[in-house]
Amino acid sequence: MTRYVFVTGGVVSSLGKGLAAAALGALLQARGYRVRLRKLDPYLNVDPGTMSPHEHGEVFVTDDGAETDLDLGHYERFTGVAARRTDSISAGRIYQNVLDKERQGAYLGKTIQVIPHVTDEIKSFLSIGGDEVDFMLCEIGGTVGDIEGLPFYEAIRQFANEQPRGRCVFMHLTLLPWLAASGELKTKPTQHSVKELRAIGLRPDVLVCRSEVPIPEREREKIALFCDVRPDSVIPAYDLASIYEAPLAYHAAGLDRAILDAFKIDLAPEPDLSRWRDVMDRLSNPDGEVRIAVVGKYMQLEDAYKSLKEALTHGGLQHRVKVKAEWLDAEVFEREGAAAHLSGFDAVLVPGGFGERGTEGKVAAARFARERKIPYLGICLGMQMAVVEAARNLAGVEKAGSEEFESGKGPDRFEHVIYHMKEWSQGNELVTRERDGAKGGTLRLGAYPANLEEGSLIAGIYGKTRISERHRHRYEVDAAYRPRLEAAGMKFSGMSPDGSLPETVEIPDHPWFVGVQFHPELKSRPFAPHPLFASFVKAALEQSRLV
């Protein structure tokens, strides 16, 4: 029997609903329960795939090729449960489904309305896989009171009423602002937020209250009284030194016990939190530090590289070292050169991205790392720019570049070492794409296998020669350049099973130089660091000892 926890937010956005949901999932899992987490986003984009990283942060990609909200990355990192396409939905997708059905005549000529047609579509989504787990945690994006969120709140109200009694619990996150001038912690915004929820038919069972200062017992009792919840269901949530402290902090605050009590589960096993204590011990008591330069192009918003940042931390956990990642704008290198900014770092990482801006800076970073024998990891575009650099400066392809950076008007500026892939196999289907076609959902997305060359550096890192990793890109390295590049010193050590698509490159005459077309950061966990990041941090640690 699956039980549902609906997670909503009030007062302000960015309170940490995704982190709270992920931590709760980890706590229930630590008690032996099977969990799955879901995200319902009220925005009208079909998915985040076409959103700017400055607007929405990174796009998290699932094995089955869905472009989703970054909160699904939190879910995976905290529970280890691989997210699926059915774990993320937006209002845009819901309305698209409803309108497609209307065009097909599925509604038999009825007038299409938010209630029941849109809400029924949302409820149908909620029901998917409902018999697979013990707890389904569903986070509603946005803030209560937002007009675009109303169909989702109405849908979960209906859904809860249609389930047997005791199957659904509502958890609401709010803010308790501290007014320094008067020295007071204010509960009124939380009261109004709960009032707003109750006005649309939802009654929270558990309140999670974010605060910068300790919440006095009398304030918790006041919140419980005015918001009609039990006092032990008012859970304080304070700022933490690390997000990985959240399961321990929420357990200490009684969150998992409050949720189980709301479900009237009295005999739940105690949680085994040893893995989280180990993670926090490694974070809090490192044996050393490494400095890694991340040369990217979306530096205005930290969440643009969220999974990457966490994967570097995980690599440090493996070796009990603190990873001090410093985020550098690739465009600066185009004006001032790489050496002025990269000297003194123990390793260089160039992540993915789209568009030409900053790419010559990424090429410069790859050259600096190659020539100075500094560990280098290039991911997606970072691999492509490393190949462009090697083609120009090792293989003599002076105009090497990418088709992505051509306007399509007039003669090409570059020799296309990187080209637009027009077709590829996805499972048993042939996928075709036009260069100037629709942007959303048209990349090579999701998990694809790769064969690694026996005896290569990357095969040694993985400990096997067959891997599967998640992709998100539209352009590929042209395998036709492989003979020239390998003769010049860059090995194509990983290829697609049919041998047509380069998946990994490395430079054997270098301490640690690896480029990968996929995104390994998406599969890294604090308790199971991705082998590439663990090896990369180890190489940086060895480099630091040479200086």
Q: If we measure between CA atoms, which residue out of 338, 377, 378, 370 comes closest to residue 488?
A: 370
Calpha distance 275→283 (Å, rounded): 12
What tokens does 505 get?
Answer: 């490159």
- Determine contact, residues 403/475, Cβ cutoff 8 Å: yes
Q: What amino acid is encoded at 36 in this protein?
A: R
Q: If we measure between CA atoms, which residue out of 236, 83, 88, 257 comes closest to residue 174?
A: 236
List the catalytic residue out of 121, 380, 403, 469. Answer: 380
- Determine contact, residues 322/285, Cβ cutoff 8 Å: no
Calpha distance 483→502 (Å, rounded): 12
Calpha distance 517→469 (Å, rounded): 9
Burial of 28 (0-12, 13-18, 19+ CB in 10 A): buried
Q: How many residues does the chain have?
A: 547
User: Is residue 380 annotated as a catalytic residue, yes or no?
Assistant: yes
- Determine contact, residues 259/250, Cβ cutoff 8 Å: no
User: Is residue 227 annotated as a catalytic residue, yes or no?
Assistant: no
Question: Alpha-carbon Rg of the chain, whole angstroms?
Answer: 25
What tokens does 72 get?
Answer: 């699904």
User: Is residue 521 annotated as a catalytic residue, yes or no?
Assistant: yes
List the catalytic residue out of 58, 404, 506, 521. Answer: 521
Bridge-based pairing state of the strands 234-238 and 206-211: parallel
Q: If you ran DSSP here, which 8-state letter would residue 475 be given?
A: E
Burial of 217 (0-12, 13-18, 19+ CB in 10 A): exposed
The catalytic residues are 380, 519, 521
